[in-house]
Each structure stands twice: as C-alpha cells, then as structure tokens.
Amino acid sequence: METKRNFTSRTFFSMLALLLVLTNLKPFTALAAGGFDEIRQVKAGVLDVGYAEVGPSTGQPVILLHGWPYDIHSYEDAATLLAAKGYRVLVPYLRGHGTTRFLSPNTMRNGQQAAVAMDILAFMDALRIDKAILGGFDWGARTANIIAALWPERCKAMVSVNGYLINNLEKNKNPLPPKAEWGWWYQYYFATERGKLGYTANWHDFNKLIWKNISPKWNFSDEVYEKAAASFKNPDYVAIVLHNYRWRLSLEPGEKQYDEIEKKLAVSPVLTVPSVTLDGDADGVVPASDGSSFAKFFSGKHVHHIIKGAGHNLPQEAPQAFADAVIEADNLSK
C-alpha cells in the first residue's frame, strides 16, 4: 500500500505541473487566492519598473494604469476578474511609486504627462508587447489617452475613467468656475513652498483625506488604505507628485526631450482606437457626465457609461464594472 500511495502522489504532482504548462499559468498567478502575490521587476527606459502580472502568458495583454494618490492595488480585483477570462493583465507602478526606481540618480524626477507615457511604452518594449488594451483612471487614464492618440498602433482598445484627460498647458492657465476650482484645491497647495513642506511631512494623512473627499461613498478600511500607502514610501514619490501638479500649472518646466511630444498633445489629438469611457456618479472631483463634452475627441468606436455609486477610484470601487468595460472595449476592436 505504501508504494501505491507514493505513486499516486508523484502522479498528482506530475499532472499538476503539466496543467500549469498547458495553461501557461505560474503558481503565483493562480486565481483562487486573488490579488497580487508577487511583484516582478523589469528595466525599461530610465526605470526599473515594478509590476504585477496575472493570467495566462498567452492571453491578450491588458495594461492597467493607476492614478494619484493610488497604486496598483486599485486593480487587484478587476485584474483577477480579467485573468479568469483569459487575459494577461499587467499592472505597473508608475514612476515614483512602489518598487519602481530610477536607474540613475541624475535623471530628473519629472512627473509631466509625456514622461509617464514614455515609461509605459518602454515597459511594453521591455516585455516585448507590441500591442495591448490600455485601461486607466486619473494619471493612468491620461497616460492611456496619450498612447492611444500618438501611438495607436500600440493600443488595441482603451478604457478611460473620466473620458479625455490629455493636458493642454495653455488651456490650464484659464480659470475654471469656482466649484471646479474648489475640487482641485490640492494642486494650488502643491504650488506653494508650504505645500511642498506639508506634503513631504504629511503625505500619509493627506492622501487618505483625498481618498475620502473624492470617493465619498467608498467605505474603505484602514487595511485597504495602508496596503496602497506602502507604495508612497518610494524615495521619489513626493518629488514626482509635486512636479506633476506644478508642471500642469506651468510653474515648473518639463524636459526638452519631451517638447515635440507635448506640442502634439497641445492640439488635443483625436483618439481613433475603440474606447469605453466611464464616470462614477459619486466622483468627488470630476462630475459624472453623459460623455457628450468630450465625444469629439473620439473618432473611433466609443461607448460611455456612468457607474452608480462609484467615486474617483472607480476600478477599486467597482471592479466588475471596470473589468466589463475592458471586455467591452476588446469586443469593439473586433
């Protein structure tokens, strides 16, 4: 009987190994536990990028991009849902976040939109991904917009929370109605020396306050917040955040190497790739709309949805709705 038990055990593990090979799933990407069990690293452009990956390696690549003040865990549940549908889902930490690091101490800690977009193109190149479905919110949506607009050959389809977010520095100089200005109060705080000192000292509580204000219906736990907050301990985090918002207000320059890209973005290029845009009707900074205000920027197939109860961190607050939007965008591309 002992010999029979050993044979059964060996057979079981051999079959399990074969199953993993056939499904192209590595043990840490197993879906039963959910979440991101391992962070990988890849040198890409000026960065050593930290990223999570779930799903079969042969699946359609989907790259999900987080915003501020958030991290890759905004996509933990949505990525698991997509992986279960056969997608290869990759979620990188943006520059200044998590385990992503600059390769050189001499590289400018630049948060301008073109630099972040080039990071993702370099990330795709490093992983030999020619074309992917891109999805994002906040900074991540802007990055997806830029790649879809200027490099449509790299973007099969796109999901963008809050629609069209490409920055135009000249338009950014124009004042907004008081209610809209109030929603962006933090970028004016960041523009001051007091704000720089305050954010450096208090980023933990500051970011948690932003979470509460712009997702007023999301009752997140301390555990959920602390999981994301760990990625804000990156040594370049504060510098990247402050530069991003100061650059938007033309208070700090970008890098000359991105000037040509910014010129192309300044004309508000139209997106031709199949796209799904989303708004949360409880977003505390960007009011939900029917999509008509930015429809002119989408010349390809385009669908817009309002997600009830969701705030600014829509992928984490409504992961099923976000995953469904990725699948819908993929179907639009077929």
35: pLDDT confidence band, cut at 50, 70 and 90? confident
Per-domain boundaries in the chain: 18-332
What is the mean predicted confidence (pLDDT) over 28-53?
79
* pLDDT at site 37: 86
- The percentage of the chain sitting over the pLDDT mark of 90, rounded to a whole number, equals 88
Q: Could you tell me whether strands 40-44 and 88-92 are parallel, antiparallel, or unpaired per DSSP bridges?
A: unpaired
Question: Which has the higher per-residue pLDDT, 20 or 168?
Answer: 168
Contact status, residue 273 vs residue 156, Cβ threshold 8 Å: yes
Would you tell me how many other CB atoms lie within 10 Å of the CB of residue 180?
12
d(CA 236, CA 234): 5
What is the mean predicted confidence (pLDDT) over 222-228?
98
Lowest mean pLDDT among 20-34, 82-96, 195-209: 20-34
* pLDDT at site 257: 98
Q: Closest by alpha carbon to 293, among 269, 309, 277, 308?
A: 277
Contact status, residue 272 vs residue 301, Cβ threshold 8 Å: no
- Read off the tokens for 261: 């890209």
* pLDDT at site 294: 96
d(CA 191, CA 219): 30
26: pLDDT confidence band, cut at 50, 70 and 90? very low
What is the mean predicted confidence (pLDDT) over 226-237?
98
Question: Would you say the C-alpha torsion 162, 164, 166, 169 has a positive or negative sign?
Answer: negative
Q: Most distant CA pair in the chain: distance in Å?
A: 82
Question: Would you say the C-alpha torsion 164, 81, 222, 109 has a positive or negative sign?
Answer: negative
d(CA 331, CA 51): 26
- Report whether pLDDT(14) > 60: no
- Report whether pLDDT(175) > 90: yes
Taking the domain 18-332, which CATH number applies?
A: 3.40.50.1820
Please give the helix or strand (H or E) that residue 113 lies within, else none: helix 113-126
* pLDDT at site 10: 43
- pLDDT (tens digit per residue) in 74-120: 999 999 999 999 999 999 999 999 999 999 999 999 999 999 999 99
- Report whether pLDDT(13) > 90: no
Contact status, residue 129 vs residue 153, Cβ threshold 8 Å: no
- Report whether pLDDT(27) > 60: no
Contact status, residue 118 vs residue 40, Cβ threshold 8 Å: no
Q: For residue 170, what is the DSSP state?
A: H
- Contacts of 225 by beta carbon, 8 Å cutoff, 6+ apart: 208, 211
